[in-house]
Amino acid sequence: MGTAKIAISIEEELLGKLDRLVSSKVFPNRSKAIQEAVQEKLSRVNRSRLARECAKLDPKFERALAEEGISQDMGEWPEY
């Protein structure tokens, strides 16, 4: 996967914390630290979005739908 160079603005205090992490070898450089932070945040957003969508589901309806499909499929399966 390719990478793109971008410019960002960041609070000086936050930059200082970031630089201390780079100095202590937690991250090899600023870019890698920011890249990992963005990836982690995006993953959290996606997980919370999935949780919100799952919360919208009606468990009784989903179970009935699943069982309806299973009972239809069972009739089509060969006996062993």
pLDDT (tens digit, 9 = 90+) per residue, 5-21?
999 999 999 999 999 99
Q: Is residue 39 part of a domain?
A: yes
Q: Is residue 71 part of a domain?
A: yes
Cα–Cα distance between 65 and 73 in angstroms, integer? 13
Q: Is residue 22 part of a domain?
A: no
| Model pTM above 0.75 | no
Q: Is residue 36 part of a domain?
A: yes
Q: Is the pLDDT of residue 73 over 60?
A: no
Cα–Cα distance between 3 and 40 in angstroms, integer? 17
7: left (phi over 0), alpha (psi -120 to 50) or beta: beta
What distances in angstroms separate CA 30 from CA 33, 45, 50, 53, 68, one per listed residue?
5, 23, 30, 35, 54
Q: Which domain holds residue 61?
A: 30-75
Please tell me the total count of domains within the chain.
1
